[in-house]
Amino acid sequence: MQIVRHSQQTLKRALISKNPVLVSQYEKLDAGEQRLMNEAFQPASDLFGPITLHSQSDWITSHPEAPQDFEQFFSDPYRKIPSPDKHSIYIQSIGSLGNTRIISEEYIKWLQGYCKAYFYGLRVKLLEPVPVSATKCSFRVNENTQNLQIHAGDILKFLKKKKPEDAFCIVGITMIDLYPRDSWNFVFGQASLTDGVGIFSFARYGSDFYSLRYEGKVKKLKKTSSSDYSIFDNYYIPEITSVLLLRSCKTLTHEIGHIFGLRHCQWLACLMQGSNHLEEADRRPLNLCPICLRKLQCAIGFSIVERYKALVQWIDDESAGTLGATPKHSPEDNGNLPKPVEAFKEWKEWIIKCLAVLQK
């Protein structure tokens, strides 16, 4: 294992900058917010630690890219900024997200609530779910994993046409695997930052995707024409678990972060780290490091205390807006479907520590 450590001076400059205007901006922040962000360059901090690399296949090793400090983010002429008339994140589900209509509807509401808290201050709106056929996308069966895949680029074109006038961005989510071009095996997601659109798949986040007993394999693609989408009528959807919800929240917020102009983080352990594989994605925390937190705060203008409180409330509010406990393959009856937040408990404890620093 390799630890990526930066000097205190490097981290301080990445966070605060040497530009007098940006230094002045930083000094005008609430004292508690400065105290929390200053943890970035405290070697003994138990809130923000260094990035750890576990293999040569990890992102930083295999995808060398220049780091982005706060000043570079702030000065980026191509960065998208929310405005009073473009202040909404839209979520478009493509195909079912759960094994019943109720589970599917509740799952997208959980993701909506999480995004509202994470991007605190922006509106997050849901578009009516659409079947795969509505996108008119190309599709195939993956030769290696034998599962259905839809073409990410085609979906982006569909989303661009559907983007509402007041949208800061529109993101598509699906439980169907994606591929960006014929020569690629798969992709977790794809986005166009200039168009403010993205598509992300949670298919490979199910606990059984890489197992021999995976039920989503298709023996042969029977397609009478390019407009025949009947194979998607009963495609396999993984069971909704707490880990699947956590992975989905991570991917969704990481990719929307890119649409805000945040590049892959190379400073500290952070949600905005790149990930090359599921094991690396699981090591990535849910939280932003102070440098990326300052970037997002600059873009949206939230109070860090209020944002953290909203995230704690989302975790605590296990049944808000839900209908409750529908077993995996049950009929669509009215039961209780509590939000599976067990995997978020450790993060909640971390947020409470941050709030203690902020509210000293």
CA distance 32 to 280: 32
Residues 6+ apart with CB under 8 A from 274: 59, 60, 63, 264
Q: Closest Cα partner for 146 from 236, 281, 241?
A: 236
CA distances (Å), origin 312, targets 7, 11, 241, 305:
32, 28, 19, 11
Catalytic residue among 39, 105, 255, 280: 255
What DSSP designation does 159 have? H
Measured between alpha carbons, how far apart are the two ends of the chain, in Å?
Answer: 36
Distance CA 97, CA 99 (A): 7
| DSSP structure string for 221-244 | ---SSTT--GGGTT-------HHH
Strands 148-151 and 177-179: parallel
Residue 256 has a CB neighbour count (10 Å cut-off) of 25
CA angle at 177 for the pair 171 and 179, rounded to the nearest 5°: 85
342 is catalytic: no
Task: Extract the tokens encoding 143.
Answer: 């030769």
Amino acid at 47: L
Asked whether 262 and 297 are in contact (CB, 8 A), the reply is no
Tell me the catalytic residues: 255
